Structure 1
Amino acid sequence: MERLTESVDIEDDCAKFNKWLCSTLEKFTLLPPEQQSTTLIGMVCAASPESRYHLLLQVSSTLHKDILTLLPLELVEKVCSYVDCRSLLRATQVSQDWNRIISSLSAVWRSKCQRLGDTHTAERPIDWKARCVLALTLLESFRTGSAFVHQDVKSTCVTLGQITGIDHFQGLLFGIADDQVGVWSTDSFQLVGLFSVPYRISCLNAYGSHSLALGHSTGNVTTWNIKSNQGDCEAQMYREFRGHTGVVMCVSVSPEIGLLVSGATDFTARVWCLRGGGLLQTLLSHNLWVLQVFFPPSLSTVNVSCDRHSLVTVTRDHIRVYSWLAAWRRDSECCLLACQDHGSLETIDPCTMEIPLNYDHSVFTPGCHLFCGKLVYVRQSKVREDEPGNAQLVFHDLTTGNPGRTLFLGLKVRKLLAVGAKFGLILLHHRHPCGPNLLVVDLYSGESLGGCYLPHSSERSRRKDRKNHYPRPDIRGAALEELIGSLRLKVINQPDNPPTYAGRAGESTNIDITLCNLEAVELISGGKCNNR
């Protein structure tokens, strides 16, 4: 009976409390906002600690609604697509829920990666958020210069003690000097092979893990098979191509279509059959030395009616694009017709496109690259030493044949080294050692993202000339010394008139020597001309 009486009293108390609460809330809603705030603050202050704790939990769940967890995932993805990458990464640190939701937006992270220059494509799933972190870390290393780590590669085993050309392919670094080729591992930078060739080497192209093409100062081109076994490296000549009458300045190989192209100082580019060794075409439309050659992907954009192979040659004044019918084409019934793997080279000349480079014949900037159907090269004019540079990056569209957008760099560019989807790597002329001359630039804004100092051949070693008392570069003697070796010339000055190019023009204001051609001398014996 007592328990029943207690339960009835409790129910009466609850009813009274609910009635009082409803009346109080009704009066509270009629108060102005300022009085509502004053009432709430007074009640909180008068509440017990236990009540305050429960109030804190209730208010936190009521007032602090997490909009990211309430919105549909499609809307969250849309909102996050407008947030920059760094802010998005900071947002993942707000809470575990935010980290889980934002990290799952693979499409958003992939678009951020593309904006940062990451064009990686793969069928397997990729953690695009992790790749964004790597891309941002790399950008920061560009700014600080820590991305560029200089590694000295010992070349004392090479005859000249100076590497005159390098190339790399799949973990191997190839260096040439005189008539020798050194092979290093790009992992350890240790020498894994060294071999000699019959002629002085002027250029090289590594086109396979075991294949190397060499251009020579004698006008020959040779290809080599390289075998590496437990640190040892052996080389065997595979083919020799004869035909150039000048120094071979560049060589490029396309194993996919079985062609090799070489450019030389005889103003010609020659196309060879890689497997058979025969000369297929000689391109005679050049009026200067051919300094660069390469095979871009098939230029279906040049002639959309059929697939075409292509070839690019670069001289000091022009870039020329040649194209010809590809190895596979279709007939009227859309059936594939097979022809030679390198296509119909009879239609290669004249060139499909000619791009002028050096209008005033003053400045030529080496380095022409192809990316996404656009030829990218540098155009600039000569300025005084105290003036800023006026170099521009030109993106020449191969679809229309006209220059696309132009990016003003405002620098004196020595060479365009590489071009990617987002960034370009350029080498500037020699500067003070405290300033970087190897720069990474944004190909859309032209902004310099950082770099490092790199000594190179344009560095001037200044001296005080005894006669005119002005700083004078000493690179002419070095260039003459290289020319003497490449053309097999001999200095025949009299004993009382020694050559002044020795020491790279450090002994005299003018370079004054007399040269003799060794090959011509070898043909003459006893006053008679002997034919070989």
Structure 2
Amino acid sequence: MSGEIDDSMDIVDEKSSCIVRQFRLLSSAQRKITLGEILSCCTSEEISYIDQKLPDFLYRDFVTTLPLELAERFLEYLTVKDLLTACRVSKPWNRIISGMKIVWRNHCLKFGCNPVTISLSYPKNTCIRGMQIQQDLCDGSAWTQDAIVNLVKSPGRFSALHHDRGYIAGGTSDSIHTHANQDSSESVVIWSVENSSVVVSFPVSGSVSCIKLNYPSLVVCGHFDGTLSSHQVSGNTESDITPGGLLNKFRLHTAPVLSLDFDESEDVLISGSADWTVKVWQLSTGSLQRTISSHSHWVLSVIFTPSSKHNIQNLSGKDIVVMMTRDDIQMYSWIHFLKDNGESLKGLNISDIHIPLKSVTDAVQSFFFTPGLHFDGKTISFVKQMPMFDSHTFGDADIVTIDAESGQLVQSVHINQKIRKLLAIGSRFAIILLPYVDSKFKNLVVVDLKYEKIVGGCTVPHSRATTPDFSQVCTGKLDWLDGFSDDSTNGLVCCLGLQDSSMHTVVWS
């Protein structure tokens, strides 16, 4: 019996082989006709069998069958949302796609994740986090806001702010004169962002135009009367100086001090004034070391960088100050005055780099420059834009970055907005303040420098400028401007001093 079955199977196999050979000899059109005839002869059971077999031919599982390198080349064209959907198809797909490190890393970089912090073993999680941050920025939920009130009495207001290590120093102006000699009752308040509390508050001698904090040791104020004052923050039991105690008074400017910078370890204070000069002071003694007076307008911003904190090779070993007026940006350098008894300061008549900002065509200025000068130790960044009517919202602006050593253009990022101030800039993102229009318009926004687009932000209350450089606005932690990471997307983003005597904080959610 078994022999007869074997013989019949051999006959079937032989006939099948013969049919297949004959089918292969047919043309494409003949094959279609033949298949139609065969299907018309099939029973429902045979049709069901064909239906079960067709997916094996029509839908190839290229994820599991192709070499990993080829599968990655196909999948890199999918969006992250599509990749996450594909991961839910099956366990093998999830294992293979989740392990495609190159694909996920490339998407991480697109979302602005910091390349240094991308997980080497499992970049998928970093990518998902980057996508969430970008989405939150886009819909305005990445940051939370809070109004800090009752720190000063109206009509006093915070005219100058600075943030350092989780603390905000605020200096006031326009406070009520309470004494017979008309001394002002202006004050400095230092606020802990983490604890939401005042650390120290103390009176100062005049309205504060600009301020810088080095927590927990020192805060320096510039004043509208042309003076500067330095104050102890935490107090000093050895010298009996209480918190807020006056250390030094700097008195030789003849117009409001509009900007300042200092380095306590280098014992240097730099101030820029509306008297068209920049002054170099010894911070600990209050003595004037040098006046740089080759300027054609108010000095809006100064940035001091010690020799140990910049990467300009041809100025190695020298301290640097970068300054900005309405007309130009200049950089001066010198050997630290304590090393050569101030000899190098005597030669500060010619700048090491000069960037003219005034462009005149037919006696009409063709573009102007907004507040916000930045120097990262290698490059200088600022904003230029075309003039517009005050009622216009959209503008024609460029965030410009110049190599400080060669003076050559590094990048120019075009933004189709009217920019009020460049608050801060990093290697990947910049944060800018736009003109206030209405409550629905985001005016504190993040710019993706790589793709030259605004990726999100939030709406903050209108803040009237107290100085040409908007001293009443300060930024918080800036690590995230070099790329998002869990360590960088926390803490203070920005703080503004408002007309209603309050401070307004923007913090990462």
TM-score by length of 2: 0.71
Are residues 1:295 and 2:295 paired? no
Instruction: Extract unaligned runs of 5+ from structure 2.
Output: 174-185, 236-241, 468-498, 500-509
> Which one of 254, 258, 283 corresponds to residue 249 of structure 1?
258
- The gaps in structure 1 that reach 5 residues or longer are 1-5, 228-233, 328-338, 460-477, 480-503, 505-532
Question: How many angstroms does 1:291 deviate by?
Answer: 1.9
What residue in structure 2 maps to residue 321 of structure 1? 331
Match of 1:38 in 2: 36
Q: Distance in 2 between matches of 1:400 and 1:257?
A: 26
Q: Secondary structure of 2:144's partner?
A: coil
1:104 and 1:321 map into 2 onto residues whose CA distance is 49
Provide closer, same or farther for how the CA distance between residues 208 and 80 of structure 1 changes in structure 2, counting only shifts above 3 A: farther
CA deviations 1:111-165 (Å, max 9, x no partner) are 3333333335249757533333333333333333333433111234457542212
Q: Which residue of 2 aligns with 1:356?
A: 356
Q: Deviations over 1:302-344 (max 9, x none)?
A: 54484654221112222111234589xxxxxxxxxxx79x996
1:172 equivalent among 167, 175, 178: 167
Contact 2:229 2:246 in 1 (8 A): no
How many aligned positions are there? 437
**CA distance change for structure 1 residues 275 and 245 in 2, over 3 Å: closer, same or farther?**
closer
Task: Indicate the RMSD between aligned Cα atoms, in angstroms.
Answer: 4.1
The Cα offsets for residues 424-444 of structure 1, whole Å up to 9 and x where unpaired, read as 332233324443333333435
Of 223, 229, 233, 1:225 maps to: 233
Match of 2:431 in 1: 425
User: How many angstroms apart in 2 are the aligned matches of 1:26 and 1:251?
Assistant: 91
Aligned partners of 2:119 and 2:126 also within 8 Å: no
Q: Report the secondary structure of 2:258's partner residue.
A: strand
1:47 aligns with 2:45: yes
User: Alpha carbons of 1:138 and 1:20: their partners in 2 closer, same or farther (altered >3 Å)?
Assistant: same
CA 1:304–1:70: 2 relative to 1, 3 Å: farther
- Structure 1 equivalent of residue 268 of structure 2: 259
- Residues 393-430 of structure 1, C-alpha deviations (whole Å, 9 max, x = no match): 32223243144544443443222222233333322333
The CA deviation at 1:204 is 1.4
Aligned residue number for residue 196 of structure 1: 203
Who is 1:463 aligned against?
A: none
| Larger displacement relative to structure 2 (162-171 or 40-49) | 40-49
Structure 2 distance, partners of 1:221, 1:99, is 63
* 1:397 matched residue in structure 2: 403
> What's the secondary structure of 1:12's corresponding residue?
helix
Q: Call closer, same or farther: CA 1:300–1:385 in 2, change over 3 Å.
A: closer
- Residue in 2 that maps onto 1:283: 292
1:19 corresponds to which of 4, 7, 14: 14
Shift of 1:103: 2.7
| Counterpart among 289, 307, 311 of residue 321 in structure 2 | 311
Is 2:131 aligned against 1:136? yes
Q: Which amino acid aligns with 2:353?
A: M
CA contact (8 A) 1:103 1:129 kept: yes
1:268 lines up with 2:277 in the alignment: yes
**SS of alignment partner, residue 136 of structure 2:** helix
The answer to whether the Cα contact below 8 Å between 2:206 and 2:223 also exists between their aligned partners in 1 is yes
What's the CA shift for 1:167? 1.9
Counterpart amino acid of residue 271 in structure 2:
S
AA matched with 1:354: H
- Alignment correspondent of 1:472: none
> Contact between 1:439 and 1:451, CA under 8 Å: does it hold in 2?
yes
Point out which structure has higher relative CO (alpha carbons under 8 A, 6+ apart): 2
SS of residue in 2 equivalent to 1:69: helix
CA contact (8 A) 2:218 2:230 kept: no
